[in-house]
């Protein structure tokens, strides 16, 4: 039995030994990653494992998929993340007894994820069944400064003979697959051995042909190493105390000498030593927090959780070269390790405003997949580029097209992320090398997929918006507004601008609300008869699609991303209408509902959705995040605070704020990078203060343009916003 302790500002503390049914979730919470390497937070003893998990960004295996009834352009192959060589297992024997916290007496068991040090520390005091007292401390980090390196420090004390086996394991037997459509496929033994010696194992994935080298060094104790094709084992013995450091370096880039490169990185890390790596880690994090931290007074749990979320967004997105940011980051194998539109719409806003070079690299990765997207567009009978709904390296991996390939909005989402990045940074080099092409090619898609009707109205028919409880609808408002922005940004020709100007935005005059898609508000209502959530596990799509039931913010997301296209009155009415029909069966929903709730004045409701998003994986019940954290929800906590209560908007490339505080929060401070400046925004009851550093910054406060000089401050009274009561909802925010 274990628990996540009371909220601390900069740490996540677990006390007690996690039970079997807690293991998977904790392994995700305590995962360490640096955008390239990800280690799930497994305990040192390999047998106490929910799901192993060492991931290398873009390391995948290919597999065939088949369909009971296939159709043209259904993907025949898919990509699945695989477990990389696992350097975590350490097996300890104390006086002949195996160290096993499920036996004997655990006097203390604590793990701490330190958000400023970027380390996971475990401390155990244990008395063995034979009565030997054992003290153990292990610490690990995945280096932000060294993209190829993970490091471990291990100390054990006991008045007895000690023996450790420290392993690097390949092709471990995976745990049983779970019966959940969102779970990953399991690929057994994905690697064939290429070479092995006492320093390094080299393997190649059997089908995707990716070569992986993992080099290991143990220092601080004498030991002996043995090597097998799928195992490197270092064994050391002692008495009273045994301590050692373990450095691991991975290289898995194609086409070069990965073995040599891994050995060089390992040697460099080993010669620097664990303490130096830990110092580097602190420095990187200090710089990150200085630009990204969000401070709040009045809700310590959310304060902790938003930093936890930002830390994991950093861990998922800290790219030193172009690469994807998967939906689960590098914390689990959920969604097969695929990257979806979450990246551009949820993760990249955070990175753009806190660490824009990471956003740039994620967008350059999308650009690297452009040829796949062009091929896919041709296959779909469309022009331009049709980016994959799910992928690791670019090819479409979605196996259910009505909620996959038909979600063409991913293309406008990518264009939108490019526009945001460009507006925030002014990075013309990126635009010239990648961004412009992304915008133009996706615009070509919209030209080919839209058509003007006899009245001159442009339509996009038969596509699926963000809400996956609807599919293949006409004129999804979110899709059409994002496509409009995409077309206008590309401005390819008169025809495309005409489509943008004339695109249908369905509005139901009777209810005075926008239709999520044409006809939506005339569908049958869902009656919520004692429903179990998520509905998709209890009801067929046939029944969901034909009704007014919304899995996740869709029209409400449109009001966030294209707030300029709605009046304040429309936003209020739309919010209430869709609130009554949204079940939040996706973790992508609460953050967006929080932002719009704040905008339309449901301040307490916004706070509740903020908390739901922020606490989802950290303090959510059950299996939440067990196969990987919801990185978009991690980012969503930032969105809810900065876009919700901070009121940050960037429609049309114009930075604006409309801050407000919910009852209970007494201070909100956040930082935003904009061009060469950093803007620090502090909201307190009755007052909002903007502080610029690095350069003068121009933005809008409550609709009025403001320029703050470098080093200067501008203070405004906080616009009074009455807290409107929450409208009816079929599933109010989770209570805390």
Contacts with its own copies: how many residues (CB under 8 A)? 53
Asked if 461 interacts with its own copies (CB under 8 A), we say yes
Is 552 a known ligand-binding residue?
yes
For its own copies, which residue of 52, 53, 309, 404 counts as binding (CB under 8 A)? 404
- Cα 729 → chain centroid: 27
Give the Cα separation of 643 and 346 in Å (integer).
Answer: 11
Is the separation of the CB atoms in 177 and 195 below 8 Å? Answer: no
Residue 534: exposure state from Cβ atoms within 10 A (0-12, 13-18, ≥19): middle
**Interface with its own copies, residue 188, by CB under 8 A:** no
For the four alpha carbons of 557, 561, 567 and 568, in that order, the dihedral sign comes to: positive
* Subset of 344-383 contacting its own copies (CB under 8 A): 379-382
The one segment of 207-215, 340-348, 425-433, 451-459 that binds its own copies by CB under 8 A: 451-459
* Min CB(579)–its own copies separation in Å: 20
**326 touching its own copies, by CB under 8 A:** no
Q: Work out which of 463, 559, 605, 643 binds its own copies, going by CB under 8 A.
A: 463
Least distance CB 71 / its own copies (angstroms): 6
Q: Work out whether 454 is an interface residue with its own copies (CB under 8 A).
A: yes
Q: Residue 209 or 519: which CB sits closer to its own copies?
A: 519
| Nearest CA among 457, 316, 468, 441 for reference residue 383 | 441
> Which of 438, 471, 613, 632 is the binder for its own copies (CB under 8 A)?
471
Among 9, 19, 47, 65, binds its own copies (CB under 8 A): 65
Burial grade of 609 (CB within 10 A; 0-12, 13-18, 19 or more): buried
Does residue 393 bind its own copies (CB under 8 A)?
Answer: no
Task: Give the binding range for its own copies (CB under 8 A) out of 14-22, 64-72, 316-324, 438-446.
Answer: 64-72
Q: Does 518 bind its own copies (CB under 8 A)?
A: yes
Q: Is 328 annotated as ligand-binding?
A: no
By beta-carbon proximity to its own copies, the closer residue of 194 and 472 is 472
Paired strand residues for 136:
124, 156
Nearer to its own copies, 287 or 525 (CB): 525
Instruction: Tell me which of 98, 108, 239, 546 binds its own copies, using CB under 8 A.
Output: 546
Structure-block tokens of residue 579:
């609130």
Per-residue interface string for the shown chain with its own copies, residues 78-97, x marking contact by CB under 8 A: x-------------------
Entry field: residues in the chain: 736
- For residue 652, what are the contacts with CB-CB under 8 A and spacing of at least 6? 564
Draw the binding track, 405-424, toward its own copies (x: CB under 8 A; -: no contact): xx------------------
379 is catalytic: no
CB of 629 to its own copies, least distance (A): 21
Question: Residue 496: phi, psi to the nearest 5?
Answer: -70, -35
| 66 touches its own copies by CB under 8 A | yes
DSSP-derived 3-state class of residue 137: strand
Helix (H) or strand (E) holding 161: strand 149-169
Q: Positive or negative, the Cα torsion across 311, 315, 321, 326?
A: negative
Among 297, 474, 498, 702, the residue binding its own copies under the rule CB under 8 A is 474
Q: Which of 540, 622, 725, 735 binds its own copies (CB under 8 A)?
A: 540
Tracing tokens 């080093």 back to the chain, one arrives at: 711
**Residues 167-186 contacting its own copies, CB under 8 A:** 181
Is there binding between residue 391 and its own copies (CB under 8 A)? no
Nearby residues of 569 by Cβ (< 8 Å), 6 or more positions away: none
Task: Tell me how far apart the alpha carbons of residues 373 and 386 are, in angstroms, rounded to a whole number.
Answer: 5
Please tell me whether residue 590 adopts helix, strand or coil conformation: helix
The DSSP-derived string for 456-523 is S-EEE-SB--S-TTS-SBS--HHHHHHHHHHHHHH---HHHHHHHHHB---EETTTTEE-SSTTGGGS
Is residue 451 part of the contact set for its own copies (CB under 8 A)?
yes
Question: Smallest gap, in angstroms, from Cβ of residue 332 to its own copies?
Answer: 18
Under DSSP, is residue 587 helix (H, G, I), strand (E, B) or coil? coil
Please classify residue 110 by burial: count the beta carbons closer than 10 Å to its beta carbon, then call 0-12 exposed, 13-18 middle and 19+ buried: middle
Ligand-binding site membership of 342 (annotated): yes
Catalytic option among 468, 515, 612, 691 = 468
Looking at beta carbons only, is 449 or 490 nearer to its own copies?
449
Nearer to its own copies, 95 or 402 (CB): 402
| 43-51, 63-71, 326-334, 674-682 -> range binding its own copies (CB under 8 A) | 63-71
Residue 40 contacts residue 51 (beta carbons within 8 Å)? yes
Does residue 663 interact with its own copies by CB under 8 A? no
| Residue (293 or 474) nearer to its own copies, CB | 474
509 touches its own copies (CB under 8 A): no
What is the rounded CA–CA span in Å between residue 83 and residue 143?
Answer: 19
Exposure string over 181-197, b if 16+ CB within 10 A, otherwise e: eebbebbeebbeeeebe
Secondary structure (3-state) at 26 = helix
Window contacting its own copies (CB under 8 A); options: 29-37, 236-244, 397-405, 710-718: 397-405
Smallest distance from the beta carbon of 409 to its own copies, in angstroms? 13
In degrees and rounded to multiples of 5, residue 688 shows phi and psi of -135, 135
- Which residue in 107, 283, 495, 538 binds its own copies (CB under 8 A)? 538
- Which residues define the annotated binding site for substrate? 341-342, 551-552
- Contact residues: its own copies, CB under 8 A: 65-73, 75, 78, 181, 379-382, 398-406, 449, 451, 453-454, 459, 461-463, 471-472, 474, 510, 518-519, 522-524, 536-543, 545-547
Q: Looking at the annotation, which residues are catalytic?
A: 468
User: Which residues are annotated binding-site positions?
Assistant: 341-342, 551-552
């Amino acid at each position: 039995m274990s628990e996540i302790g009371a909220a601390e500002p900069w740490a996540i503390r677990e006390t007690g030994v996690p039970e079997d049914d807690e293991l998977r979730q904790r392994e995700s919470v305590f995962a360490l990653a640096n955008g390239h390497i990800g280690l799930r937070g497994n305990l040192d003893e390999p047998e106490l494992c929910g799901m192993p998990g060492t991931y290398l960004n873009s390391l995948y295996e290919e597999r065939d998929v088949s369909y009971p009834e296939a159709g043209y352009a259904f993907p025949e192959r898919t990509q699945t993340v695989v477990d990389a060589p696992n350097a975590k297992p350490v097996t300890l024997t104390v006086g002949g007894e195996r160290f096993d916290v499920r036996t004997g007496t655990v006097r203390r068991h604590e793990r701490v994820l330190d958000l400023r040090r970027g380390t996971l520390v475990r401390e155990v005091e244990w008395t063995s069944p034979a009565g030997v007292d054992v003290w153990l401390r292990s610490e690990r980090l995945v280096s932000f400064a060294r993209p190829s390196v993970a490091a471990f420090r291990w100390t054990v004390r006991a008045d007895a003979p000690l023996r450790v086996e420290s392993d690097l394991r390949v092709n471990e037997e995976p745990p049983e697959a779970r019966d959940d459509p969102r779970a990953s496929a399991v690929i057994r033994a994905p690697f064939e051995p290429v070479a092995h010696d006492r320093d390094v194992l080299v393997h190649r994935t059997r089908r995707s042909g990716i070569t992986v080298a993992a080099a290991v060094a143990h220092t601080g104790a004498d030991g002996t190493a043995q090597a097998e094709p799928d195992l490197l084992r270092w064994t050391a013995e002692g008495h009273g105390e045994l301590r050692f450091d373990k450095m691991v370096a991975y290289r898995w880039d194609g086409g070069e000498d990965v073995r040599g490169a891994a050995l060089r990185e390992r040697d460099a890390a080993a010669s620097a030593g664990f303490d130096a790596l830990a110092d580097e880690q602190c420095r990187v994090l200090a710089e990150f927090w200085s630009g990204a931290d969000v401070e709040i007074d009045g809700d310590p749990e959310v304060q902790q959780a938003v930093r936890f979320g930002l830390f994991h967004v950093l861990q998922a997105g800290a790219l030193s070269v172009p690469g994807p940011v998967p939906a689960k980051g590098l914390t689990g194998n959920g969604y097969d390790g695929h990257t979806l539109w979450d990246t551009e719409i949820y993760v990249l806003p955070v990175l753009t405003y806190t660490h824009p070079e990471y956003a740039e690299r994620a967008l350059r990765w999308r650009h690297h997949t452009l040829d796949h997207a062009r091929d896919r567009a041709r296959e779909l009978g469309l022009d331009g580029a049709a980016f994959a709904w799910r992928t690791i390296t670019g090819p479409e991996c979605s196996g259910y097209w009505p909620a996959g390939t038909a979600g063409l909005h991913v293309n406008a989402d990518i264009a939108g992320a490019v526009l945001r990045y460009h507006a925030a940074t002014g990075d013309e080099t990126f635009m010239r090398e990648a961004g412009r092409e992304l915008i133009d090619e996706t615009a070509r898609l919209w030209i080919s997929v839209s058509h003007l009707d006899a009245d001159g109205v442009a339509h996009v028919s038969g596509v699926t918006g963000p809400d996956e409880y609807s599919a293949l609808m006409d004129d999804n408002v979110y899709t059409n507004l994002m496509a409009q922005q995409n077309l206008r940004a590309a401005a390819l020709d008169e025809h495309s601008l005409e489509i943008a100007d004339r695109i249908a935005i369905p509005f139901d005059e009777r209810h005075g609300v926008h239709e999520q898609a044409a006809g939506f508000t005339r569908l049958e209502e869902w009656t919520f008869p004692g429903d179990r959530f998520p509905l998709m596990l209890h009801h067929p799509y046939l029944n969901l699609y034909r009704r007014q039931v919304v899995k996740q913010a869709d029209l409400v997301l449109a009001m966030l991303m294209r707030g300029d296209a709605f009046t304040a009155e429309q936003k209020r009415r739309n919010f209430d209408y869709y609130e009554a029909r949204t079940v939040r069966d996706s973790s992508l929903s609460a953050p967006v509902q929080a932002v719009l709730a704040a905008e339309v004045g449901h301040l307490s409701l916004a706070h509740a959705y903020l908390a739901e998003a922020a606490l989802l994986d950290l303090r959510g019940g059950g299996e939440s995040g067990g196969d990987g954290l919801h990185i978009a929800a991690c980012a969503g906590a930032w969105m809810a605070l900065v876009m919700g209560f901070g009121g940050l908007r960037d429609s049309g490339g114009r930075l604006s704020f409309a801050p407000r505080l919910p009852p209970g929060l007494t201070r909100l401070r956040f930082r935003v990078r904009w061009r060469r400046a950093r803007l620090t925004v502090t909201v307190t009851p009755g007052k909002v203060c903007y502080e610029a550093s690095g350069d003068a910054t121009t933005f809008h406060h409550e609709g009025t343009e403001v320029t703050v000089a470098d080093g200067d401050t501008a203070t405004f009274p906080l616009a009074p916003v009455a807290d409107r009561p929450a409208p009816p909802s079929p599933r109010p925010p989770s209570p805390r």
